[in-house]
Each structure stands twice: as C-alpha cells, then as structure tokens.
Structure 1
Amino acid sequence: MAPSRAVKTWKTSTDPDFETKKNRVLELYAIADGKTVPGREDPEVSSTTSDLHPPAGVCHLLTAFDLSTGLLYGHIKPAKTRTQFLAFRRYLRSLHPSQVWIGIVLDNFSPHRSTQVDSRVGDWAEANNVESAYTPLSGSWLNRIKAQFTGLRYFVLGGTDFASYRESARMIRRYIAWRNTHTTGLILRKVITRAGIIKRAKVA
C-alpha cells in the first residue's frame, strides 16, 4: 500500500468582483509597504483583521495586524457579533489620530459583511475616516493576517489541550504580548515568513 500524503488545496473564487477586490487589497498592501505613494483617496495606514476560533469551547479571537507597526492586536470574546466587531473596529480606530485615514482589509465572515444587512458598520466607517476593503469570496488567503495565525498556532495552540476557555485565553494574551516585543525573533520570523510565502504564491 502506498503511503498517504497530505495535499493542501484552496477553493477558486467565484466572486464576480474578484479582480476589483483583489486589486484594491493589493494596492493597500503596496501603500503599507512603501512601494506606492498614497493618492488623495487612499488611506495613510492599513491593517488586516480576521477571526480565529481557539480550542477549549466556543471562543473567538478578534485580531488585527497593523501593517504600519507590525504589531498584532487581539480581543478574546465568547461570541462574535456585529456589535462586538464594531467595538473592535472602534478600538483599532483609537490607535491612530482621528485625522489619519485608515484602511482595514477584511475577509467575508458574516459580521464583517454586516454592511449588507446592518448600516451601523458602514455608517461608522464613513464617519470615522475608515475604509473597509473586503477580500473576494473564497479569497481569504489574500489577507496577510492569516500568516500571523500560523505563528499563533505554532507557539500556542499546536499540540495543546487547554482545560478551560480562561486558560487558553490567558496563553493567547501572553503570546501576543511576547510576539509584539520579539517581532525580529529568528524562529517567529521563519514561521511567519514561510506562511506568508505560501499566501503570496496563491496571489500569483
């Protein structure tokens, strides 16, 4: 019998606006990387945000990766609704002066798409100098924060069996604090860089 081999696949996006959404996300990354000078209609600061489901019961980690500073932010909640998502965006907004226009790359998790059924998120963004750039459907691999999740799984979640939500939350908070003071650490850089290369290969 031939040995089994794991094969990684991803779903091809059927989003009719795939190119438009993809190109806007890549434009924001180019601005954040200093490869493109922002125009009048472009944000000055970009970040990416997403959600992760840690173990130990139902637990949501709302996260954002600030491309201007390289820092990772995370709020742990027992659930993720539009109200909690908006509160997290308010927190991200508070990290920069109000006159600075920020762009936030989002995947298509239902609370992120709340502008279609609930105007609060969209109205708040317009009133607070924030652009929301959505990745295409089945295109969450465009979101740079996914590589950061690889580091979190490698250092905290992989091979663990937390006894409670509180224990896993404590370890995740400790990791984020450690990670933000060790962004140049060799092992951390190696893990995240490798994950980032895989994500960029999908873009190509």
Structure 2
Amino acid sequence: MPPPSAAKKPRLDAAPHKNTKLSLITSALKTLQDSCGDVLSSNLIDALLKGKCELPSLTDEEKSVISKFGVNESLAETFLKAVLEKIKVEEESMGHELLQSLCRVYVGLCQKRGDSHKAHALAYRFLQEDFSEAPKLILVMVTAWPSVFSHNSPLCRAIHIVCKMKAYGKFYYLLKKCLHWDMEPPGDPYRAITSTLKALLKV
C-alpha cells in the first residue's frame, strides 16, 4: 500500500494582495495618528494674517505616506477610499489634529494624481455636512495644495461661495487672502445651486 502523500503546507509568502494593502493602510494611519498636530494654531493664524510667515508645508511623515501610496493607481485609490471611510465612521470621535493630517495627505495624493475633483468633493462635503471648523479644514487643504481651489468648475465655485458664508473672524480674513477673494469674489449662491448638484453627481 503506497504511503499517504504529505499534506501540502500553505506558503507563508502567499498572503493575499488585499491583506498587503490593508497592512500598508493600517501602518500609514498609525504614522499619521502618532505625528499629527494642529496645523493652524492661533499663533500661526495671527502670523499669517500679518504676513510674517508662510502656510505650513507637509510634514515628512505626510510626504512619506503620499509617496508610498502614489506608486500606482490601484494603491492610491484604495487609500483614498480608506481615508474617506475613516472620516465617515469616526466623524464624531476623531481628534481634529488627525482629521487635519488626513485631509492634507488626501489632498496631497490628489495633487500627485492630478485629481482636483476628489479634493473639491471632500471640501464641499465638510461644508455641506457642517463639520466642526469646516472653514479651517478648507484652509488645511490649501496648505497641502495651495492652488487646489483655483479651478473654474461649478463645484469649486460652490466651495468658495459656501465657505464665505460659513467663515467668520480671523478664518474669514485668512481665507479671503489665501483664496484671493479680492481679485475673484465668490459668485451668487442661488445661481450656483443647480450647477453644483450636477457636479456632485460625477463624484
């Protein structure tokens, strides 16, 4: 009688590609959690209004995450979806510092891909859903991609309009400065509603 054949052992290096992506995302989110801080502190806001400093740039940790997930289209898309899902699920409990860092990495990765529409959709979501300190989050996005809101699209124009309506105090004046409202004032809110809804259908 022939000896029973040895059972095949699973290869340790044959982990599903999905698990590899999940591991990368988990590691990246932990990196951002451990290194995040308030990008626009009160002192920095005052200095920016007085013209004594420039908008803060991306941190080394944020640049590293963007570089890691910008290597191919599939990996970038998976990470962007993971960030949106995390913001959706943890909206009430997430610390504002981590939310800022997630925004900066999301927008930085959008810039690397040349995808301004996704960045605009996230910004409009913050304004539409009345996120805490939504105008500040718009400014945070500008720190990652200074020209992100310079596009002449219905959705981008709506961001300017709604942001101007919601912003107040120092944030209003800093947004006015950074988004160049003196040179290109936001349009009429009522005329923008229809075109904005059409643009959102493409998200």
Q: Tell me the TM-score normalised to structure 1 length.
A: 0.22
Higher relative contact order (CA 8 A, sep 6+): 1
Q: Tell me the TM-score normalised to structure 2 length.
A: 0.22
Decide which structure has the larger Cα Rg and report it. 2
Q: Identify, as 1 or 2, the structure richer in strand.
A: 1
